Amino acid sequence: MKRTFHLALLSTAALLLSGCLPEERIWWSPKGDRAIVLLKDRLRLVDEQGSFVGAVEDELSKEDALIKSVGWLPDGSGVVCQRVRKVATWEEARQLVPKAETDAVDKIMPSVLPFLEAAVKLSVQTGSLDDFMESLPTKDHERFVIAVRRSFQQDPAPIELLLARLPNAAESLEWLKKDGGAIEVAELAIFKFDAGRSELQVLARSILGPLVLPRVSPKHGAVAYLKADENAAKVALEVITLDGRAGFTVARHVTTAFDWAPDGRSLVFMAPIDGEGEKLNAVHRLTVVQDNGQLMKPRYDRDVDGKMIEVKGRDRLTAPATLATAITPNRPALQVLPDGRVLFASSMMTLPAKVTTSELESRLFLVSADGESLEPIPTAPGDLPANLGYFVASPDGKRIAVVEGETDAVAVVDVDSGRTQIISPPHPNWGCRTIPAWKSAAELTFAALHGSEAKPAWMLWSEVAGLRCLSEKWPADTMADWLEFKKPDPAAESVISKPSGQP
């Protein structure tokens, strides 16, 4: 049950973090004078020489908190971070999370025992936990899981009796008793570093889905982030003010690719065109913050007769403008450059084609700031990986760092000319697991093999000064997961893709 009950969360993690593919582990402050780095699932604050500073990381590394991504405040005084913490009882959780979520759990409480009984009846025939979960006559698994834990806290006997009929009852009961039945609460919080003290201010909480990838508006007091639905089927783009008092859903079904425009008022994001999957996406732009820095008001409101009508005005949301369409078999990714142009990747496909000779190719494209034109960055064939989902533009928007998961090579592309230089060559059987991060317009940091033992290290590159290691003094193996060594398998014949459902 543990595995299956956490299926939704795991799927979400896979969706958001892409599992064994490159992920964000380095976040430089806006001034580039310090950075947060993710080392063995713990966030550390380091200075520009790579030395650990302050005791802040102890606060950010609470055992009951799992923090995976951060977004710096524009003034560099702190970060907005995500975390998951456990609260002991339902009553405690009820005080923390939105009423709509507790109501959703309340509503399903009477169904817990009947639903479990029905699921047990169906799944005892096969004995599979997966079958058990699929047999639950509810599709809102996360709220059901919470309701089960809450019921178990209140009266464990009926649930123990029911689950005892499953072949793996012990595992199920062990999961229910773990942490005393604590409930996980996802949080989005501001963590201030300055003023000689650490200060945590929670902006949003949820028990039904993780709140991830916070990105702070560069000009106004607003944070955009993603909220996965409880069944991990899709993620929504949300925006909230930095005081946590106002917020709304920008789009209900998006990809993980989104960014603020340089005016700090508009969000640019990729969303699936067909509503399912992330292969054919549209790039949208929507203004969510007013001129005065307040969030936009809803697009619809009630008229005097109580009917819902669209209201127009400078302070009202509109439909998003669609800037482009892209084929994204790789991880959807985009970034808004300082001049307002939108950078994104798309696969190149021309049909009809002889599929037997069709080589996969992806390119980088730029939508002009006014959304009126679209141009490819003039790279040469072979300059960019086919899996073009991991790139980061420099703060001045003039260069782009590119990596892929299959090799550990790092390239830097000049935006205007398309000239591409490989600043870190590939090493056989090594794959990149860390997305590079720009310290400044001229300095890039990334993971690469370094030293006589050729171990993963945090490197700083600049065209003028060349390469320098920033992690020389770090404890051994702290960066073991920044790159991955894949054991060569001479007999391997890996089927990479098959039609859906083919074993």
Partner 1 sequence: MNPQSLHALVIDRHAGELSPEAVELLDLHLAQHPSARAEADRIIQALHATSEAVLQHPELGRVVPQERVAPAATRRVSTLPWLAWAAAAALLAAVTGAGGFIAGRAQHSDAGQSPVVKDVPSSPVIAVAQTAPRKQSPWAQYRMTFDPSGQGVQVVRVDSANQGDKVLR
Does position 500 interact with partner 1 (CB under 8 A)? The reply is yes
x/- site string to partner 1, residues 19 to 58, per CB under 8 A?
A: xxx-------------------------------------
Pick one of 69, 346, 434, 445: the residue that binds partner 1 (CB under 8 A).
346
x/- site string to partner 1, residues 119 to 158, per CB under 8 A?
A: --xx-------x----x-x-xx------------------
Residue (67 or 116) nearer to partner 1, CB: 116
Pairing type for strands 434-435 and 23-24 reads parallel
CA 413 to chain centre: 25
Residue (114 or 451) nearer to partner 1, CB: 114
Two tokens at 153?
A: 């806290």
Contact 189, 44 (CB under 8 A): no
Smallest distance from partner 1 to CB 355, Å: 5
CA distances from 235 to 82, 107, 145, 252, 270 (A): 15, 23, 20, 7, 12
Pick one of 86, 215, 220, 331: the residue that binds partner 1 (CB under 8 A).
331
Pick one of 48, 238, 259, 404: the residue that binds partner 1 (CB under 8 A).
404
Return the SS3 of 184: strand
Does position 488 interact with partner 1 (CB under 8 A)? The reply is yes
Residue (67 or 403) nearer to partner 1, CB: 403
Smallest distance from partner 1 to CB 202, Å: 24
Query: Where does this chain touch partner 1 (CB under 8 A) — which range of 13-21, 153-161, 167-175, 434-442?
Result: 13-21
Pseudo-torsion of CA 166, 171, 175, 178, nearest 10°?
Answer: 140
Q: Partners of 287 in the beta sheet?
A: 266
Pick one of 103, 165, 322, 472: the residue that binds partner 1 (CB under 8 A).
322
Q: How far apart are CA 306 and CA 310, in angstroms?
A: 13
Give which of 198, 182, 224, 197 is closest to 82, Cα–Cα. 224
Q: What is the CA radius of gyration of the chain?
A: 24
Pick one of 197, 307, 452, 464: the residue that binds partner 1 (CB under 8 A).
307
Does position 411 interact with partner 1 (CB under 8 A)? The reply is yes
Smallest distance from partner 1 to CB 15, Å: 11
Applying CB under 8 A, what is the total number of residues that bind partner 1?
100
Contact 99, 195 (CB under 8 A): no
Pick one of 356, 464, 466, 476: the residue that binds partner 1 (CB under 8 A).
356
Contact 296, 289 (CB under 8 A): yes
Q: How far apart are CA 433 and CA 197, in angstroms?
A: 33
Does position 306 interact with partner 1 (CB under 8 A)? The reply is yes
Does position 386 interact with partner 1 (CB under 8 A)? The reply is yes
Locate the DSSP E strands across 178-257.
183-192, 199-206, 211-216, 222-228, 235-241, 247-254
Smallest distance from partner 1 to CB 141, Å: 12
Does position 426 interact with partner 1 (CB under 8 A)? The reply is yes
Does position 261 interact with partner 1 (CB under 8 A)? The reply is no
Does position 282 interact with partner 1 (CB under 8 A)? The reply is yes
Does position 352 interact with partner 1 (CB under 8 A)? The reply is yes
Pick one of 30, 98, 110, 114: the residue that binds partner 1 (CB under 8 A).
114
Residue (219 or 297) nearer to partner 1, CB: 297
CA angle 452, 449, 29 (to 5 degrees): 125
Pseudo-torsion of CA 64, 66, 71, 76, nearest 10°?
Answer: 40
Pick one of 52, 418, 442, 468: the residue that binds partner 1 (CB under 8 A).
418
Contact 412, 401 (CB under 8 A): yes
